[in-house]
Amino acid sequence: MFKKILIANRGEIACRVAATARRMAIQSVAVYSDADAGAKHVGFCDEAVHIGGSAPKDSYLRWERIIEAAKATGAEAIHPGYGFLSENEEFAQACATAGLVFIGPPASAIKAMGLKAESKQLMEKAGVPLVPGYHGSDQDPALLKREADRIGYPVLIKASAGGGGKGMRAVDKSEDFEAALASCKREAINSFGDDAVLVEKYAQRPRHIEIQVFGDTHGNYVYLFERDCSVQRRHQKVLEEAPAPGMTEAMRQQMGEAAVAAARAVNYVGAGTVEFIVEQRSDGSMNFFFMEMNTRLQVEHPVTEAITGLDLVEWQLRVASGEKLPLAQEQLRINGHAIEARICAETPDNNFLPATGSLHVYKKPAHTAFERGQVRVDDGVREGDAISPYYDSMVAKLIVHGATREEALARLDDALAQTRIVGLSTNVQFLRYVVRSPSFAKANLDTALIQREEAVLFKQEPVGLAMAAAAAVARQLLDERALAGADPFSRRDGWRSHGVVQRRFEFEFHGEPAKAALTYGHDGALHLALGDVAGPLLFTETAQGIEIQFAGQRMTAAVYAQGELDHVFTARGATQILSIDLLAHAGEAQAEGGRLTAPMPGKVVSFAVKAGDKVSKGQPLAVMEAMKMEHTIAAPADGTVQELLYAPGDQVNEGAELLKIAV
């Protein structure tokens, strides 16, 4: 077994690999960029080496620097994690040339499976069922469009060298194909350095089910059952679970054997995932088609660990060191049900726009890190850390395990309710809505679940204005009471030497203003009036939060103030309410109009207009790239473009004015 390995990655997967290495008495070496100098994974490993600038191309994608770091620190092997260089055949070959073990498949297997078109041709020869499509090398746009027309819409354009939902576009009709192809190729070249694509039939009511496979250097192969990853947004996974609901033993065996056949076809070694599109027929039967093979450990591997009781990173290390697979197929068993939720810095109600910022508050549910348990959290961040625009938007993975799917669902909802993040927008509340939605709860799954359940997943409010305001008032009064010993005449807690006192509050809740009056009684009682809602306000601070009673309602809330914004977390859900400091905003001027600003830090990809152009509300104006994804900026109103303030390729900060529009 290795004595020391280098982990060529960052964040939660670097911490995850290092945890298993530590348990196996293997030393670990971290690498880090400028942006990650103080990151969690740097201190979590035994050693750390700086490898370059913040952008991945200047650090985590510079494999020659990573190999130099491994040799300089005496590492015997390199674990690539997922993303970055994990599926780069040149890197795998360079490791071998340098006398280092690449903890993954041989370069030949990566090459064979790395290009989707070629891999599908290989799978066809191996007898693995394929989705109808065009997988050829001729990339003439006119030819690709003809092929799409021949296949029939809807079709899916996919980057041949892609993965992780990047370089992928669904097209519903012929006239939209050319624009989707151009965007897909642009994103593919930026993410993978290769703009080749393939075109496939987009299956109706498809499920995304993948099989975890393992191979060793002795010719042994097993499949560690399946994971259902159908709940997706932007072709990226949101929730993953194992085993797949509704899976029969016969189909599980068929898919598992097909996955092993795919691995055998390329002499695969180590952990890999064979992904299938599963078509759900009207008669209730299912048919599966090979989609792609990911030649690495998957983000969602913890759910497989939970139901099998195995450590897949340990298996990777043992296989890479030359050992045989620890278990044979007949020794593998499924135990219970596991679900993983990806907690991401994004705004679900705004088309899942990525968010950046600092984790001012980061509270996790009670959990067992990196080990099998009822609740597990895998992350690479700590309270106070920043989520930057350079890397993926994922903050953490929350994994739960239960005896049944129903038990796992309840456990996940409770764990999400205990997850509290302040400082940037996240999808935590959205995940709770998904988990509670009729489709997910009843396992009515397909890749369009989020669109289908839109009415119950977006624009909900779990806590009304009255209780949100009551929580904000209670939090402010408790903060003021904490100023023990302060001059009572300078405090704002209602203390006066005589008379009944009334205090005014102003709020903004979902963009709507609200006013409240708090009356202090002679006996210390508090009475809160908020529009038509009024009554005594009672509250007590406990270890769980603030217990509040108002207007016939009771709840326990944890309230965190970020400037004037109060973040309110309750068992029923989380919300935010703006508590306006009236003195601070006295005489404040109105914001100027006619400005179009960047909604996030990123790079300007292109402009679709020029100075002098007339534009209509909703018309695409510019394309930005942030967190490895493209985002279209649309006109907020009708008007005329006066000036473009940046050029394609420029980096911009959040809030930077991109162009001027006269409205």
Give residue-wise pLDDT tens across range 240-287: 999 999 999 999 999 999 999 999 999 999 999 999 999 887 777 788
| Backbone φ and ψ of 256, nearest 5° | -65, -45
Burial of 248 (0-12, 13-18, 19+ CB in 10 A): exposed
Q: Token digits for 524?
A: 């210390």
| Backbone φ and ψ of 631, nearest 5° | -135, 130
Query: Is residue 332 within 8 Å of 256, Cβ to Cβ?
Result: no
Confidence at residue 369, expressed as pLDDT on a 0 to 100 scale:
63
Domain 203-334: CATH architecture, name and number where available: 2-Layer Sandwich (3.30)
Q: What is the mean pLDDT of residues 56-83?
A: 97
Widest distance between CA atoms in the chain: 91
> Could you tell me the fold of the domain covering 336-458?
D-amino Acid Aminotransferase; Chain A, domain 1 (3.30.470)
Let me know if the fold of 4-103 is the same as that of 465-580.
no
User: pLDDT grade, residue 430 (50/70/90)?
Assistant: very high
The yes/no answer on whether domain 595-662 falls in CATH 3.40.50.300 is: no
Query: Is residue 131 within 8 Å of 116, Cβ to Cβ?
Result: no
Q: Helices 249-265 and 116-125 meet at what angle, rounded to 10?
A: 110
Name which residue leads in pLDDT, 17 or 631. Answer: 17
Q: How far is 329 from 340, CA to CA, in rounded Å?
A: 25
Confidence at residue 589, expressed as pLDDT on a 0 to 100 scale:
35
Confidence at residue 491, expressed as pLDDT on a 0 to 100 scale:
47
Give residue-wise pLDDT tens across range 463-506: 999 999 999 999 999 988 886 544 444 444 444 444 557 888 99
H or E element that contains 480? helix 465-481
User: pLDDT grade, residue 588 (50/70/90)?
Assistant: very low
* CB count in 10 Å sphere of residue 630: 20
57-61, 385-389, 481-485: which range is least confident on average?
Answer: 481-485
Tell me the CATH number of domain 132-201, given options 3.40.1710.10, 3.40.50.10860, 2.30.110.10, 3.30.1490.20: 3.30.1490.20
Q: How far is 2 from 632, CA to CA, in rounded Å?
A: 47
Confidence at residue 629, expressed as pLDDT on a 0 to 100 scale:
67
Confidence at residue 486, expressed as pLDDT on a 0 to 100 scale:
46
Give residue-wise pLDDT tens across range 504-524: 899 999 989 999 999 998 888
* CB count in 10 Å sphere of residue 251: 18
Q: Which residues are catalytic?
A: 296
461-474 in b/e form (b: 16+ CB < 10 A) is: ebbebbbbbbbbbb
Rounded to two decimals, the pTM is: 0.82
Q: What is the mean pLDDT of residues 137-161?
A: 92
SS3 140: coil
Confidence at residue 164, expressed as pLDDT on a 0 to 100 scale:
66
Tell me the CATH number of domain 465-580, given options 3.30.700.30, 3.40.50.2300, 3.40.1260.10, 3.40.50.150: 3.30.700.30
Does residue 167 register a pLDDT over 90?
no
Give residue-wise pLDDT tens across range 190-199: 888 889 999 9
Residue spans of the domains in the chain: they are 4-103, 132-201, 203-334, 336-458, 465-580, 595-662
Query: Is residue 397 within 8 Å of 369, Cβ to Cβ?
Result: no
Q: Token digits for 605?
A: 């990809």
Confidence at residue 133, expressed as pLDDT on a 0 to 100 scale:
86
Give residue-wise pLDDT tens across range 309-346: 999 999 999 999 999 999 999 999 999 999 999 999 99
446-457 in b/e form (b: 16+ CB < 10 A) is: bbbbbeebeeeb
38-47, 180-189, 553-562, 648-657: which range is least confident on average?
Answer: 648-657
Distinct helix (H) and strand (E) counts, the chain? 17, 40
H or E element that contains 481? helix 465-481
Confidence at residue 118, expressed as pLDDT on a 0 to 100 scale:
78
User: pLDDT grade, residue 632 (50/70/90)?
Assistant: confident
In the 3-class helix/strand/coil scheme, how is 525-582 assigned residue by residue? CEEEEECCEEEECEEEEECCEEEEEECCEEEEEEEEEECCEEEEEECCEEEEEEEECC
User: pLDDT grade, residue 370 (50/70/90)?
Assistant: low
Tell me the CATH number of domain 4-103, given options 3.90.110.10, 3.10.20.30, 3.40.50.20, 3.40.50.150: 3.40.50.20
The dihedral through the CA atoms of 520, 524, 525, 528 has a sign that is positive
Q: What is the mean pLDDT of residues 228-236?
A: 91
Burial of 127 (0-12, 13-18, 19+ CB in 10 A): exposed
Q: How far is 624 from 530, CA to CA, in rounded Å?
A: 42
Q: How far is 602 from 309, CA to CA, in rounded Å?
A: 41
ω before 536 within 30° of 0 (cis)? Answer: no
Q: DSSP assignment of 400-451, as one string? A: EEESSHHHHHHHHHHHHHT-EEESS--SHHHHHHHHHSHHHHTT---TTHHH
Query: Is residue 30 within 8 Å of 11, Cβ to Cβ?
Result: no
Confidence at residue 522, expressed as pLDDT on a 0 to 100 scale:
80
Give residue-wise pLDDT tens across range 84-138: 999 999 999 999 999 999 999 999 999 999 776 778 888 888 888 888 889 888 9
Name which residue leads in pLDDT, 599 or 265. Answer: 265
Query: Is residue 423 within 8 Å of 411, Cβ to Cβ?
Result: no
Does residue 350 register a pLDDT over 80?
yes
Does residue 416 register a pLDDT over 70?
yes
CA dihedral 21, 23, 26, 30 (to 10 degrees): 40
Q: Token digits for 556?
A: 């326990």
Q: Which residue has the tokens 């996955």?
A: 259
Confidence at residue 372, expressed as pLDDT on a 0 to 100 scale:
59
Q: How far is 236 from 392, CA to CA, in rounded Å?
A: 12
Query: Is residue 509 within 8 Å of 469, Cβ to Cβ?
Result: yes
